[in-house]
Amino acid sequence: MLSPKTGDCSDYAVTKRHELLARGWPSRALLLAEVVTTWGEHHLVLVVRTRQGDVVADNLSQEVKLWTRTPYRWIRVQSPETPSFWSHLAPA
As a whole number of angstroms, the distance between CA 78 and CA 87 comes to 6
pLDDT at 91: 65
Please tell me the total count of domains within the chain: 1
Per-residue model confidence as pLDDT tens digits over 63-92: 999 999 999 999 999 998 888 889 888 665
- Would the pTM of this model clear 0.85, i.e. be above it? yes
Mean pLDDT rounded to a whole number for the chain: 89
Q: Is residue 86 part of a domain?
A: no
Q: Which residue has the higher pLDDT, 7 or 8?
A: 8
Answer positive or negative: Cα dihedral of 15, 75, 89, 63.
positive
Q: Is residue 35 part of a domain?
A: yes
The residue segments making up the domain with residue 53 are: 9-77
pLDDT at 20: 96
State what percent of residues in the chain have pLDDT above 70: 89
Q: Is residue 87 part of a domain?
A: no
CB-count burial class (<10 Å; 0-12, 13-18, 19+) for 63:
exposed
